[in-house]
Structure 1
């Protein structure tokens, strides 16, 4: 697994959203994108992180950001997650994990003291030209958005 570095081109992708529409990263050129990868919809940590993004979306939008969440969940589960927690930004489905792997957000990680393969909770800031501005790996679900907004 290779990790992305600031200045690297952000790997382009087209994924399906919760409503089964195709969404491509390229369609957001000209805007700054917060792209975050989370392990599973509707789990406690992922819910906390998504709700933090939701609650800070107004301020992030004012700063010119678009937020996109990516998980390995199918669109139907993403719809449930969006509706249950009133999430107002796109949730994208990467069931094959190809985009996770392209961003280094899937690989070996330590979980409760054991080394396992899985989704690495990660956030990327992508600039208006499609380059990685920040690549943050192994982020904590709680407090991550607050720390991120201080750095932006």
Structure 2
């Protein structure tokens, strides 16, 4: 089992060394109470380099520092390539420090171990407003987007709802 895991890790690292950058997948943005946050891209299938690259994360990404907000949370979601957006859905996960994945992906990104649940479809618009009634706490917001003729990607954000 150990050899299989090491072989898989080696193949992933070898593939990433010659692959286009994950940073080439466009990000989404949320704006809440005049504050904005750029998404951290999670899983995707997106045209990169001379082909399409697909990746699935080990956990759900977000920025490290949450936006400090109050409820009801009135957010504006701005998706990349708005004219091509075909479908969007999202999930909200209340998180605690015990949900934090200890894998280091950089100084400004966190990974969260939360299940996929309560996924809600929303309008397929490049820019839209949502209002969320949330109890105080820290939440990871994950938006899943599909673009006509392009691909799909997930976008993670983090907010902290104050009492």
State TM-score, norm by structure 2.
0.23
Q: Which has the larger radius of gyration?
A: 2
Q: Which has the higher contact order (CA 8 A, sep 6+)?
A: 1
Higher strand residue share: 2
Higher helix residue share: 1
